[in-house]
């Protein structure tokens, strides 16, 4: 566990402007993570529900604040599932398409 992958956790807040039109505001947080492969059972269980999970990232629990997206370079991933993994780690299972 080297936490050698730099990613950005993004939360999106939807609101309205002065004219009532919807707006989206992004809040980005740069963190270090471990990139992992999605397990076979996780992949097939998600695929049965028409969700394409592609990556899993491990981050420190203090870095994650229920964000909904991950930016990895120019790629945007959507967090499908999160779970506590060991002491102080959170695993984020991601899809390449919004669910």
pLDDT tens digits, one per residue of 31-62: 999 999 999 999 999 999 999 999 999 999 99
Q: How far apart are CA 4 and CA 25, in angstroms?
A: 28
Question: By residue range, what is the domain housing residue 29?
Answer: 5-95
Q: What CATH number corresponds to the domain at position 19?
A: 2.40.10.270
State yes or no: pLDDT of 19 exceeds 90: yes
Q: Which residues of 69-83 are buried (b: 16+ CB within 10 A; e: fewer)?
A: bbbbeeeebbbbebe
Burial class (CB in 10 A: 0-12, 13-18, 19+), 63: middle
- For the chain, the domain total comes to 1
Rounded average pLDDT over 63-70: 96
Percent of the chain with pLDDT over 90: 93
R_g of the chain, CA atoms, integer Å: 15
Rounded average pLDDT over 63-80: 96
State yes or no: pLDDT of 1 exceeds 90: no
Q: What is the pLDDT of residue 58?
A: 96
Q: How far apart are CA 18 and CA 49, in angstroms?
A: 39
Task: Decide: 52 and 38 in contact? Cβ < 8 Å.
Answer: no
């Amino acid at each position: 566990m080297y936490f050698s992958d730099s990613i950005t956790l993004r939360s999106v807040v939807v609101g309205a402007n002065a004219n009532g039109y919807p707006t989206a505001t992004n809040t980005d947080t740069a963190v270090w993570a471990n990139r992992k492969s999605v397990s076979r059972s996780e992949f097939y269980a998600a695929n049965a529900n028409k969700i394409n999970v592609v990556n899993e990232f491990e981050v420190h629990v203090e870095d994650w604040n229920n964000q909904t997206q991950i930016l990895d370079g120019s790629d945007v991933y959507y967090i499908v599932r999160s779970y506590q993994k060991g002491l102080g780690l959170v695993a984020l299972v991601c899809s390449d398409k919004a669910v």
